[in-house]
Chains A and B, each alone.
Chain A
Amino acid sequence: MINEIIINDKPISYFLEKYPFLTSFFSENNLDITGKENLNFYDFLNLFTEEEKEDFGISTRKTISDFIIYTNQMIEFLGIQEDNGVNSVSIIAGNDKSGNPEKFEKLTIKKGEIICIVGPTGSGKSRLLADIEWTAQNDTPTQRSILINNEIPDKKWRFSSGNKLVAQLSQNMNFVMDLTVYEFLELHAKSRMVENIEEVIDKIIKKANNLAGEQFALDTPITSLSGGQSRAMMIADTAILSKSPIVLIDEIENAGIDRKKALDILIDEDKIVLMATHDPILALMGDKRIVIKNGGIDKIIETTKKEKLILIDIQKLDDKIMGLRTKLRQGEIIEEI
């Protein structure tokens, strides 16, 4: 942990060497420290006149205080990454929109499990996910409570910007940055403080290409990836680079990717997967499914043995359709199914 006394004592170079993540603090705040690393931070800020500081929209007191808060938060954040984190999430029942108690007591979801959420639009799926993300403690409209590792969760899950509990993947999502696949992954890896960047990028690309129907290269601009390729990239990137222990998938059917492999990637990275879907393959791949009605959890169904057998048939059907798709892509003529 750092404080004002250390900042006064040590030059900027001391902090940069000890905490490499501070490079981004200086660059994001437009503070060009090149050649001035031997000054302490106060002296550096004193190089500017009051008028200049007003022009940049900064003040010494605020900048120093932000520097301390940022550094200490990052130290803590990196520390959290080292311990194991989330092994399970539990939902303790609240009420539906009419105030009736939900029809279950407690649902615990463990690492590597897939839970599907089904129910009509507007039934309360978003609210359930919001309760989880906010680690509700009987203080949301549903009166649900959320436990992590069977304990009342630390408030950090609500407010820390680096430690969000839930990562989201949905059908409407797009890449909007004007970067190549490599530059994009590098940027994301850097923001997550990853050390072995090359290795991680390589892993993501391999996994993504394994999912997508068509291969793509590192120098492809992300905005020109096809729908399936984008989805594949997003899933592989979220599985490997996102630190959020829970991944929420909202309707990824018809995405032009191998759905089973997609889920396997997330499970391999020890994610808890929550999936809002009505796609039979995805829904039956889950271990359980939550049925939502009128804002409350109405039922929790465990996927039956019979359903698992039916899933095999559906998958065969799906493989056939995937096969037809490949043939069409390669310019062949369809003779039979």
Chain B
Amino acid sequence: MNLITVSGPPSSGKTAVIIKTIEALKKRGFSVGVVKFDCLYTDDDILYKKIGIPVKKGLSGSQCPDHYFVSNIEEVTQWGLKLNLDILITESAGLCNRCSPYIRDVKAVCVIDNLSGINTPKKIGPMLKTADIVIITKGDIVSQAEREVFTSKVHSVNPKATTMHLNGLTGQGAFELSTLFTENNKEITTLKGEKLRFSMPSALCSYCLGETRIGEDHQLGNVRKINLNSDEGDKND
């Protein structure tokens, strides 16, 4: 079975991209399943069911969504294997713009949209920088110039990736993406022992454990403070 992880900011068009691509994969005779990871709520599983493919959803609730993703990815892989799928796609939102639940040697796709603003490629960290394929959506509603500028910004933060435009409404580009999903894949039987491409943000503070009160007296563990004394406006904080 091939495993493909798709992630991207909320509302960038991940589900539309995946659905159009699955339609192309099905026409080519592949059996595909999806696991949707989200935080509080999703009804995307209904959309996947509608096109008749096996789907599971996982809601992280009060946990960090990407920590939840890694904690479950092996079980999810086994589910896909049990169903004898050719391709299993996981979909997850990068909620803090820092996470990158990509796994070494597993194809990683980042979906990002033209409307998200010209500085977005700069703001999204490993999720964009370490992806193998970058899909840019919503190109049908912005000007050619903006598409070109946006693509060149994506290119400068991740020159290694294949960057493609895909229209989630008409499906233009979906067939082409499906061919990238099926080439140079690694047959996966387990993810045990595999590694993430980039570490996740660390945190273990009192708030992780359910503290709700504000103030230094209630802060224990790994706590970081904003620097309000520097003159240049704390670029990296």
Contact = CB atoms under 8 A, between A and B. Distances in A.
Interface of A: 24-25, 28-30, 32, 54-59, 62, 65-66, 69-70, 73, 126-127, 129-130, 134, 139-141, 158-159, 161-162, 164, 167-170, 172-177, 184-185, 187-188, 191-192, 230, 233-234, 237-238, 241-242
Given A25-B156, A30-B236, A130-B176, A172 B141 contact: yes
Q: Which 6 A-B pairs have the closest CB atoms?
A: A57-B125, A70-B159, A191-B152, A161-B163, A28-B156, A69-B159
Given A55-B236, A130-B176, A173-B143, 5 more contacts: A28-B122, A58-B129, A140-B176, A159-B162, A168-B147
A177 B150 CA distance: 11
Nearest to B167: A126
19 contacts: A28-B156, A29-B157, A32-B235, A57-B100, A65-B160, A130-B175, A161-B152, A162-B155, A168-B144, A173-B143, A176-B141, A176-B142, A176-B146, A187-B118, A191-B148, A230-B143, A234-B144, A234-B145, A242-B144
Contacts of A126: 167, 170-172
Contacts of B122: 28-30
A160 to B, nearest CB: 9
A129 B175 CA distance: 13
B64 interface: no
Nearest to A129: B172
Interface in B161-212: 162-163, 165, 167, 170-173, 175-176, 179, 198-199
A219 to B, nearest CB: 18
A68 to B, nearest CB: 9
A238 B89 CA distance: 37
A24 B156 contact: yes
B83 interface: no
Nearest to B100: A57
- Sorting the interface of chain B by its residue count into under 10, 10 to 19, 20 to 34 or 35 or more gives 35 or more
Given A32-B235, A54-B199, A130-B173, A173 B142 contact: yes
Given A28-B156, A29-B156, A141-B27, A237 B143 contact: yes
Contacts, number: 128
Given A174-B142, A174-B143, A62 B175 contact: no
B236 A56 contact: yes
A57 B98 contact: yes
Contacts of B199: 54
Contacts of A54: 199
Contacts of B159: 66, 69-70, 73
Nearest to A73: B159
A173 B126 contact: no
B16 to A, nearest CB: 15
Which of A32, A169, A175, A176 has the largest count of B CB atoms less than 10 A from its CB? A176
B141 A140 contact: no
Given A62-B130, A73-B159, A161-B155, A168 B139 contact: yes
B153 interface: yes
A175 B129 contact: no
Nearest to B134: A161
B145 A242 contact: yes
A174 B143 CA distance: 6
Contacts of B9: none
B95 interface: no
B176 A188 contact: no
